């Protein structure tokens, strides 16, 4: 708990023009506020009491006006519009102002019973993600924590025209809950006395339209410079899964590991013949099987068009190359943008959405 020293709500309420809470993470709370000069909504990220938040440094560098101004990827990273500090009982909280967002992709799915996007929207989102990642790579950075909770959707145009009263009428006023201890003891002064529940500005994934599907790639807390630092993560991790089970899943989906790794994996004999055929198993799912039961079948069940075979094959071919076991065999973001699926399906859909 001591590393996660949040700001007391009273200190947030002292900030002028904070109107709602947008979200929270392990290292911050994020608030919707109105910029006094432009009258537009902004997001204020208030970090936990950490004298030197890594993300702030990264985003400050990315926001530098010297960096290529008109690259489309630049509009998809949260540029810092302003920054200040709050002193609280836990120490100094760095606060920075960025564009506000409506929801993350995972929020949009959680807000839906069917958890699917329109095919056009999925293409537009994937194209922008590749553009954004390629942009940050050109700035010498790797994001380090790409997942659907960190891809945010921008607020719809027209949101800024809303008055605070209209905002509260449509989305509700801030609701808070008193913070108590399980053992009934007094809270220490470093724990906020109340917590505000984040507002829901989002909509169900299937309702999102291509023209509204504009992303902001957020959470640069794990970003790093590959030229200065190596970082290794497994392609997939499982919650509570054993390492051998995860390795088996990798080999089922993507084929056997490179020989020098395969030969070191002793448990392979229990699950595979020496030439990599699955043995002693009732179920075994290749990448194509997983795509069929996790993407195509749910789409058909909800009467949403599935991927046509030519597009599916191009998409799987791009994904398979991105999931190569050896990092050096994986395409760069630039090469991903040049893949058949991007060129024939995703990027044209993105261009169409920009014009509409
Ligand atoms: N600009 C923004 N506009 C709207 N909501 C945002 C914005 N930035 C972040 N959020 C929301 O707040 C949540 C937490 O943000 P973020 O992941 O950046 O915080 P964090 O403290 O670095 O968290 P963690 O490292 O635990 O993910 C996000 O999942 C998102 O829902």
ipTM attached to this prediction: 0.97
Residue nearest atom 24 in ligand 1 by C-alpha distance? 25
47 lines ligand 1 (CB under 6 A): no
Mean pLDDT of 144-154: 96
Q: How far is CA 176 from CA 7, 33, 185, 310, in A?
A: 15, 17, 20, 51
pLDDT in the model for residue 175: 94
pLDDT in the model for residue 88: 83
pLDDT in the model for residue 4: 54
Predicted confidence (pLDDT) at residue 67 exceeds the cutoff of 90: no
Q: What is the pLDDT of residues 324-333, one digit of tens each?
A: 999 999 999 9
9 dihedral zone (left: phi>0; alpha: psi -120 to 50; beta): alpha
151 lines ligand 1 (CB under 6 A): no
Beta-sheet pairing, 91-98 with 175-178: unpaired
Q: Are 99 and 216 within 8 A, CB to CB?
A: yes
Domain 1-99+157-200 belongs in CATH node 3.40.50.12500: no
Predicted confidence (pLDDT) at residue 213 exceeds the cutoff of 90: yes
Location of structure tokens 């400050």: 60
Q: What is the pLDDT of residues 71-106, one digit of tens each?
A: 899 999 999 999 999 888 888 899 999 999 999 999
Predicted confidence (pLDDT) at residue 257 exceeds the cutoff of 90: yes
Higher pLDDT, 192 or 254: 254
Ligand 1 site-directed mutation target among 21, 30, 79, most atoms within 8 Å of CB:
30
pLDDT in the model for residue 26: 87
206 lines ligand 1 (CB under 6 A): no
For ligand 1, the distance from its centroid to the CA atom of residue 220, given in whole angstroms, is 10
205 lines ligand 1 (CB under 6 A): no
Two structure tokens written together for 111? 């807000």
Question: Where are the chain's structural domains?
Answer: 1-99+157-200, 243-351
202 lines ligand 1 (CB under 6 A): no
Q: How far is CA 164 from CA 155, 169, 229, 325, in A?
A: 15, 9, 45, 51
Mean pLDDT of 149-174: 94
Res. 131 pLDDT band, cuts 50 70 90: very high
Res. 192 pLDDT band, cuts 50 70 90: confident
Query: Which ligand 1 atom is nearest residue 104's CA?
Result: 31
Mean pLDDT of 281-303: 93
Contact partners, residue 51, CB within 8 Å, separation at least 6: 91, 92
Range with the poorest average pLDDT among 60-74, 124-138, 177-191, 283-297 = 60-74
Q: Is 270 annotated as a binding residue?
A: no
150 dihedral zone (left: phi>0; alpha: psi -120 to 50; beta): alpha
Two structure tokens written together for 337? 């943008």
Res. 3 pLDDT band, cuts 50 70 90: very low
30 lines ligand 1 (CB under 6 A): yes
pLDDT in the model for residue 14: 64
State the chain's mean pLDDT as an integer: 91
Whole-angstrom distance, CA of residue 6 vs CA of residue 196: 12
Query: Which ligand 1 atom is nearest residue 219's CA?
Result: 18
Whole-angstrom distance, CA of residue 2 vs CA of residue 170: 37
Q: Are 78 and 150 within 8 A, CB to CB?
A: no
Q: Helices 119-138 and 347-355 meet at what angle, rounded to 10?
A: 100
Residue nearest atom 23 in ligand 1 by C-alpha distance? 25
Q: What is the pLDDT of residues 217-236, one digit of tens each?
A: 999 999 999 999 988 888 88
pLDDT in the model for residue 10: 66
pLDDT in the model for residue 29: 93
Whole-angstrom distance, CA of residue 119 vs CA of residue 307: 8
Predicted confidence (pLDDT) at residue 1 exceeds the cutoff of 50: no
Whole-angstrom distance, CA of residue 195 vs CA of residue 8: 9
Q: Are 47 and 84 within 8 A, CB to CB?
A: no
Residue nearest atom 28 in ligand 1 by C-alpha distance? 23
Q: How far is CA 240 from CA 93, 147, 232, 243, 250, in A?
A: 34, 19, 20, 9, 16
Mean pLDDT of 19-42: 91
Cα torsion angle, 268, 240, 2, 194, sign: positive
Ligand 1 site-directed mutation target among 101, 218, 221, 223, most atoms within 8 Å of CB:
218
129 lines ligand 1 (CB under 6 A): no
3-state SS class at 19 = strand
For ligand 1, the distance from its centroid to the CA atom of residue 23, given in whole angstroms, is 6
Predicted confidence (pLDDT) at residue 40 exceeds the cutoff of 80: yes
DSSP 230-288: -----S---TT--HHHHHHHHHHHH-PPPHHHHTT-TTHHHHB-TTS-B-S-S----HH
Q: How far is CA 216 from CA 23, 25, 47, 66, 209, in A?
A: 15, 17, 19, 20, 16
pLDDT in the model for residue 16: 64
């Amino acid at each position: 708990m001591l590393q996660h020293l949040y700001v007391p709500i009273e200190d947030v309420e002292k900030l002028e023009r904070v109107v709602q809470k947008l979200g929270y993470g392990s290292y911050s709370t994020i608030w919707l506020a109105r910029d006094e000069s432009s009258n537009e909504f902004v997001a204020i990220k208030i970090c936990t009491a950490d004298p030197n938040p890594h993300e702030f440094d990264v985003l400050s560098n990315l926001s530098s006006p010297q960096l290529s101004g008109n690259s489309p990827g630049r509009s998809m990273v949260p540029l810092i519009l302003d920054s200040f500090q709050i002193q609280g009982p836990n120490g100094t909280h760095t606060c920075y102002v960025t564009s506000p967002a409506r929801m993350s992709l995972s929020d949009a799915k959680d807000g839906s019973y069917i958890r699917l996007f329109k095919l056009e929207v999925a293409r537009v989102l994937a194209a922008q993600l590749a553009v954004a990642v390629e942009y940050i790579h050109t700035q010498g950075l790797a994001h380090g924590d790409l997942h659907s909770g960190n891809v945010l959707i921008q607020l719809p145009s027209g949101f800024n025209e809303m008055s605070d009263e209209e905002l509260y009428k449509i989305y509700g006023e801030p609701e808070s809950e008193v913070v108590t201890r399980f053992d009934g003891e007094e809270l220490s002064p470093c724990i906020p006395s109340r917590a505000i529940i984040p507002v829901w500005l989002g909509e169900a994934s299937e309702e999102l339209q291509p023209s509204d599907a504009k992303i902001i790639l957020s959470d640069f807390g794990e970003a790093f410079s590959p030229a200065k630092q190596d970082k290794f993560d497994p392609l997939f991790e499982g919650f509570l899964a054993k390492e051998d089970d995860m390795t088996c899943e990798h080999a089922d989906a993507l084929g056997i590991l490179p020989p020098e790794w395969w030969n070191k994996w002793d448990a392979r004999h229990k699950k595979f013949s020496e030439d990599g055929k699955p043995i002693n198993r009732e179920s075994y799912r290749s990448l194509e099987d997983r795509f069929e039961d996790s993407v195509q079948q749910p789409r058909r069940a909800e009467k949403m068009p599935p991927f046509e075979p030519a597009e599916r094959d191009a998409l799987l071919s791009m994904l398979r190359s991105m999931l190569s076991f050896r990092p050096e065999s994986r395409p760069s973001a630039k090469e991903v943008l040049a893949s058949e699926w991007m060129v024939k399906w995703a990027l044209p859909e993105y261009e169409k959405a920009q014009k509409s």
